[in-house]
Amino acid sequence: MPSFLKKSASKESNGEFWKILVVDDEPDVHAITSVVARDIEFEGKKVKLYSAFSSEEAKKILQNVPDIALAIIDVVMEKDMSGLELVRYIREELKNPYIRLVIRTGQPGFAPPREIVLKYDINDYREKAELSSNGLFTMIIARLREYRDIVELETQKRLLERSAFYSSVVLNSNVQDFEDTLTEALDSFSKILGLTVKIEKLGEIKTDKFNGTFPIVNLSWDHDKSVEFSLRKERDISEKMKVEFSKPLTLHQLNIISMFLERYLVTVNNYVLSKDLIETLYKVIYIISEVTETRSLETGEHVRRVGKLAKLLASKFGYEGEYLEFFEIAAMLHDVGKIGIPDAILNKPAKLSDEEFEIMKRHTVIGYEILSTVEHPLFKLAANIALYHHENWDGTGYPKGLKGEEIPLEGRIVSIVDVYDALLSDRVYRPAWSEEDTLRYIKENCGKKFDPRVCEIFFENYEEARNLYDFKNSKTE
């Protein structure tokens, strides 16, 4: 290679160059291009030339040098159409749609046909005689601008795709994973952008549980390369964080990352608050249910186990996410209507008379009337469970005598769970049954009292269900 084409190693710091490949078998063409290119600076980066004197040399450079922005290619070299063959190689074999291609020839008769220009996305055609110094400068700048825009659009596309991915997975994470997921997302963005990222924790921020509030989103950017924000960890605790990129972002890149961070922080914020509310609601409902059960001299653990077993079976029917959390809480309220049943009936140590049993059956309706007054999906679900958990598959249950799939699925699920746990528990009118007798009773009533499909799911997952019980030491908790 001629000495005037060689660059000093000191200019290659950080790889901040626009890489241009000149493919031509005439040394003078390389010399002229080098003279023009050495003074070009576009968006803070100079030009680095790579020279090839044949298409074969060019292929080796293309295989080993990434991110070449522009290739200026002579048509006629070792063969009449070597240049066009190289163009085909770039687009079809290397599958590189980004590099800008300029065809140059000193023989107008070898100009590329129009269909080739279209097929291989040739970006310019010039005769060597018409490329003055100014013309070459203008052409290079125009092609570099095209390359920059194409790469930027592709970068934005990849950032948006990763942003959408990490925004979707956040809802499936646990609270303790939010920082890890955010770090993973930012690392992914930095790789797409070809830079490094540093993430710092600046300390926790606490607020008064009743009067203080956190801003849902408050991104504070500094010089387009670092941003500070707060990531909520608990209802009244957030982590102040700083993210710094190794170089400034473009406006579009900054907007995409800001959009992701805003969406992510809002999602985490809502998740933490929602989880806190659900946990609080769970505790409140457990207390209410425990009080109800205590009136009938039963342990509050019955409602806790019914909730967990109902959630387990519901998950096997394909329910997931927030609905499962609601299902567990709603199932715990299945007997809340017992609050309206007199103690003399509720705690009678003998079999109820027909009249007393009619009064007892009213706990389903009472529970429904209490729970259905609240306009919320959880309480609508709980109201249905309270009303229908004593309906039987064969139509012999109460309060409505529904049959088969007329009974809402949530009622059919809680029905078998309630009976299973009740039989294993001591009651004022009888001692607890053994596990063997309990399972025998359920099997005998599949298709009668219980939905056959719910029975099937129950027994398929029985080992998981029985983990809630210590059958070695006692029949119930």
Distance CA 375, CA 332 (A): 18
Distances (CA, A) of 301 to 26, 284, 310, 338, 384: 90, 14, 14, 16, 22
Question: Which one, of 205, 209, 158, lies nearest residue 185 by Cα?
Answer: 158
338, 380, 448, 472: which one is catalytic? 338
* ∠ Cα 373 378 382 (to 5°): 70
- Given a contact cutoff of 8 angstroms between Cβ atoms, the answer to whether 450 and 442 are in contact is yes
State the Cα–Cα distance between residues 422 and 186, nearest whole angstrom: 51
Give every strand in the sheet of 45-52, ordered side by side. 41-42, 45-52, 17-23, 68-74, 100-105, 124-127
- Whole-angstrom CA distances from 385 to 332, 364, 372, 388 are 9, 9, 11, 5
Stretch (H or E) spanning 446: none
Q: Are 315 and 328 in contact (CB under 8 A)?
A: no
Our answer to whether residue 400 is catalytic in this structure is no
The SS3 assignment for 331 reads helix
Residue type present at position 97: P
Nearest to 411 by CA among 391, 426, 441: 391
**Helix, strand and coil percent figures for the chain, each rounded to 5:** 55, 15, 30
Going 260 to 262 to 267 to 268, the CA torsion angle's sign is positive
Residues pairing with 102 in the sheet: 72, 124
Contact 54, 60 (CB under 8 A): no
CA 294 to chain centre: 43
Question: Can you read off the two tokens belonging to residue 416?
Answer: 């078998």
- Specify the DSSP element, H or E, that contains 97: none
Residue written as tokens 């997952």? 461
Quote the tokens at residue 413.
């699920």
Identify the H or E element spanning 425: none
Taking the alpha carbons at both ends of the chain, their separation in whole angstroms is 86
Catalytically active residues are 338
